[in-house]
Structure 1
């Protein structure tokens, strides 16, 4: 199912959590939903999941509207909140059977679905344990299993890799990518490298407004800055540094080591030509000149610091 968010707003007293945001997520797409703490991510996901009602705007999931068909939408959504609520006194199997019944899965299908979830989420060796006995990472797996057990069309995951070790993170990432081939997924995470490796598209929200939307590659290309790592031999570090600071289109320069520098300029300027000309004039030679691609983390910081 596609998700269409239109002009969504929500306030808590004088605090506006989200401010007239609109975006779409298509079936089979994994959307990384990013933002600083308090930016409005969780509020947006709770509205999409029909746990909160917006002050204005609408969310359409498939043919259903949150304003008219909230009950229907809940049947099509799997939701893993950041702090997933589990019944600690139940063992894993009993809990998943209970969740299956809550979702009105036919009785004859429940055993098969529970076994599928145990295998899919890596819980086969923990199935007889009470949930309170599980590590935080395995509790997160139980939360993921309960979000998927009714085979929802839309899956909303708020910090799904919290508490997992690096190997478990890779396993959950591959699981998310696998289920994302047939479902619509919104994934929120503070681990930006994981978002970049998992998601088809990234949406960044800050102070209740969308500040970036696109694939990681598109966000990098839309960035107007260019970074160059250079190393120049033939003069001492301070002399070379002073000469580089005189370049017309230089925006920033940092000494990173002996005769090594990090230069920032605009993508529209061909500062490399000026550097070559400078080195030719001074009889220096360029040992290294490497463009540095900005990371998602750099872009995130740039669009959320205002």
Structure 2
């Protein structure tokens, strides 16, 4: 297994954000991480990439405990958080060069990724001058720049127009042929277009973990299935 989580629990004061969560995700798998707001999705993603301290349980990536091998495991992960924090006063290429230097990535790879995510016309602009859609592309560029083995994307097509959405989906699909991808989104068309499997979180618990066809089962759509599983 590329990623294995054992009995992960995370609390914020008296609130339990994740309750004894366990799962396994293999390589070359694009998994949709679904759930209502407040279900624990962001907490789970941040725990995997080491942005949040683990209270209870263990996370293994490529057989190594992320708490004991923090730098090694983090270096093989890429993360695009929902709020996409960028340095607004830096120029696009300057920012990506900065990220590349941290990872020890070549200049040729920077140009390759700029082309891949479709920001070539914008690369000499300041990030603050970019539209939301192009900022999102810059965020994706930094996440994939070092060719991570695990890519975690939180609402990756947020702010993109329909043409851009198709382009970015194709990039994600291509990455998923060889790498592990966890995709969190509220857009069910995204899940159907990209994912082979769905993990549904609700109130900190995994209530469904199944292939898409099985998740939909007797329902007419993913939206109907989602509503049924998460409405009390």
TM-score, normalising length from structure 1?
0.74
Matches within 5 A, 1:123-142: 123-142=119-138
Describe the SS at the equivalent of 2:191. Answer: helix
Q: CA deviation at 1:22?
A: 0.8
Do the aligned partners of 1:144 and 1:160 also contact (CA within 8 Å) in 2?
Answer: yes
**Which residue of the partner structure matches residue 32 of structure 2?**
32
Matches within 5 A, 1:86-101: 86-101=86-101
Matches within 5 A, 1:143-222: 143-221=139-217
Distance 2:199 2:43 in 1: 15
Residue 305 of structure 1 pairs with residue 215 of structure 2: no
**Which residue of the partner structure matches residue 2 of structure 1?**
2
Gaps of 5+ in 2: none
**Which residue of the partner structure matches residue 114 of structure 1?**
110
Point out the structure with max Rg over C-alpha: 1
Q: CA deviation at 1:36?
A: 0.4
Describe the SS at the equivalent of 2:95. Answer: helix
Distance 1:130 1:175 in 2: 24
Do the aligned partners of 1:8 and 1:57 also contact (CA within 8 Å) in 2?
Answer: yes
**Cα deviation 1:87-131 (Å, max 9, x = unaligned):** 1111111110000011133xxx2x101101111000011110000
Gaps of 5+ in 1: 224-292
Q: CA deviation at 1:196?
A: 1.3
Q: CA deviation at 1:53?
A: 1.4
Q: Which runs of 4+ in 1 moved over 2 A?
A: none
**Which residue of the partner structure matches residue 295 of structure 1?**
221
Residue 76 of structure 1 pairs with residue 72 of structure 2: no
Q: CA deviation at 1:67?
A: 2.1
Q: Which has the higher contact order (CA 8 A, sep 6+)?
A: 2
Q: CA deviation at 1:220?
A: 2.5
Q: CA deviation at 1:143?
A: 0.2
Distance 1:40 1:206 in 2: 7
Do the aligned partners of 1:50 and 1:73 also contact (CA within 8 Å) in 2?
Answer: no
Residue 58 of structure 1 pairs with residue 54 of structure 2: no
Q: CA deviation at 1:194?
A: 1.0
TM-score, normalising length from structure 2?
0.97
Paired residue total: 232
Distance 2:204 2:150 in 1: 23
